Amino acid sequence: MDLFNTTSTDELRPRLLALTHASEWADGLLARRPYADLDELLSVSDGLVTALPVEQIDSALAGHPRIGEKAGGLDAESVARSAREQSAMSQADAALQEQMARGNADYEQRFGRIYLVAAAGRSAEELVGLLHERLGNDPATELDVVRRELARITRLRLAEAPLVGG
């Protein structure tokens, strides 16, 4: 935690934004330094993400490719991270990939944003199944789910980041 606590804000902020592109989250995390340990950092991060306003959620989603698609327009580290997180989907058969593509389109039409799910460790079948379940949510419920999934993704990325000793 020493590195995270002592790195300059000017250096650390862009590194945080590469993990989750939500300025309120990054600024809030930086403002609460120093952290005693990783658990405290992750707990504060969770609270900040789940409290983000809609426009910050949408900003964060801009840094995530659709499930089943390759990341474009991101730095090499972000592209590699997304590929690792979504590896099950990239290895799925063509029929399952097509189901995901159709589901992504249905989701975006229904909710006006990309389908975000913490994909790491989940099978392609599970990712498609979760998408179909979530299509039944009302918009307010779904926004809460998106916040929780974004917090989960951010937690995983932050814990693995070199800036916190991962």
pLDDT tens per residue, range 112-138? 999 999 988 889 999 999 999 999 999
- Report how far residue 150's alpha carbon sits from residue 36's, in angstroms, rounded to the nearest whole number: 24
CATH number at 71 reads: 1.10.3330.10
Mean pLDDT to the nearest integer, 89-112:
91
- Report how far residue 110's alpha carbon sits from residue 137's, in angstroms, rounded to the nearest whole number: 10
- Report how far residue 153's alpha carbon sits from residue 166's, in angstroms, rounded to the nearest whole number: 15
Average pLDDT score, the chain: 89
Whether residue 110 is predicted with pLDDT greater than 60 in this model: the reply is yes
Residue span of the structural domain in which 64 resides:
2-164
Instruction: Determine the residue type at 67.
Output: I
Residue among 131, 94, 101 at smallest CA distance from 116: 131
Residue among 60, 42, 76 at smallest CA distance from 155: 42
- The number of distinct structural domains making up the chain is 1
Per residue in 73-97, pLDDT (tens digit) is 556 665 565 556 666 677 788 999 8
With vertex at residue 136, the alpha carbon angle to CA 115 and CA 126, rounded to the nearest 5 degrees, is: 55
Q: What is the pLDDT of residue 52?
A: 97
Are the beta carbons of 150 and 49 closer than 8 angstroms? Answer: yes
